[in-house]
Chain A
Amino acid sequence: DAKTTQPNSMESNEEEPVHLPCNHSTISGTDYIHWYRQLPSQGPEYVIHGLTSNVNNRMASLAIAEDRKSSTLILHRATLRDAAVYYCILRDGWGGGSNYKLTFGKGTLLTVNP
C-alpha cells in the first residue's frame, strides 16, 4: 500500500473547524483515499473516502488536491466527541489480493478543547 504522512497531533477548539492534512505523494491512479478514526477505547470507525472529487457526508468533508498527492479531512464544527486518532489510508480500488486489508499508520491525535 502507498504510504501516507500525517502530523502526529493537532489541537482544536470546540465548535471551530478542523483541517486534518494527509500527504500521499506516491498515490497511484487507482488508490482511493480513506479516512477512519478511533475514539478512545473503541474500534476504528469509517469517516469518509474519495478518489478524485471532493466528498461530503454527515460526518465530514474530504478535500482532495488536484494532483491527488495530498488531501484534507475537514470537520466543520469540532465537538468534544470528535477527539480521536484520525487515520488517512490509501486503498487500491480495483479489488483482489492485498486490497482487502486496511493498513493503519500512527494517524493524527486530535485534541478538542472545550
Chain B
Amino acid sequence: EPEVTQTPSHQVTQMGQEVILRCVPISNHLYFYWYRQILGQKVEFLVSFYNNEISEKSEIFDDQFSVERPDGSNFTLKIRSTKLEDSAMYFCASSADLSYNEQFFGPGTRLTVL
C-alpha cells in the first residue's frame, strides 16, 4: 500500500539553526500539507500546497517557514532560524484531490530545538 514517508525521524538542532524536514508524498497525489503537534497538544495545520504554490497557511506559518517541492517526489519544510518553541512532531500529508478529501499522513519528524 502506498504511504507517505518522512526523513529524518528525529532531528536535534541548536536554536537559531536552519532545518529542512523532508517528505515523499504518495506518487499520484496533488495536494500536500504540513502539520505539527507540540507534545501533549492538538495537531495544528501549518500549510497546504498545490500546483507549486501555497494554497493556505496558518498564523503559525510565518516568514521563518517555507515549503518547496524541488522535484517530482519530495516536499520540504524549511525553518530558517529555529526557536525553542518549534520543538514538535511535524507531519507531512498528501491527498489525491480535494473533493475526496482523505489525507494520508506520514509517520512524522520529531524536531528538538536546544
Measured CB to CB, the residues of A under 8 A from B are 32, 34, 38, 42-46, 49, 87, 91, 93, 95-106
Closest beta carbon of chain A to B65's beta carbon, Å: 15
Chain B residues within 8 Å of A32, by CB = 101
Question: Which positions 25-77 of chain B face chain A at CB distance < 8 Å?
Answer: 31, 33, 35, 42-45, 48, 50, 55-56, 58
Measured CB to CB, the residues of B under 8 A from A are 4, 31, 33, 35, 42-45, 48, 50, 55-56, 58, 91, 93, 98-99, 101-108
Chain A residues within 8 Å of B93, by CB = 43-44
Whether B45 and A102, one on each chain, are in contact in the complex, defined by CB atoms closer than 8 angstroms, is yes
Whether B101 and A45, one on each chain, are in contact in the complex, defined by CB atoms closer than 8 angstroms, is no
Could you tell me the distance between the alpha carbons of A43 and B94 in the complex, rounded to whole angstroms?
Answer: 12
Whether A43 and B101, one on each chain, are in contact in the complex, defined by CB atoms closer than 8 angstroms, is no
Q: Which among A46, A95, A98, A100 is the interface contact of B104 at CB below 8 angstroms?
A: A46
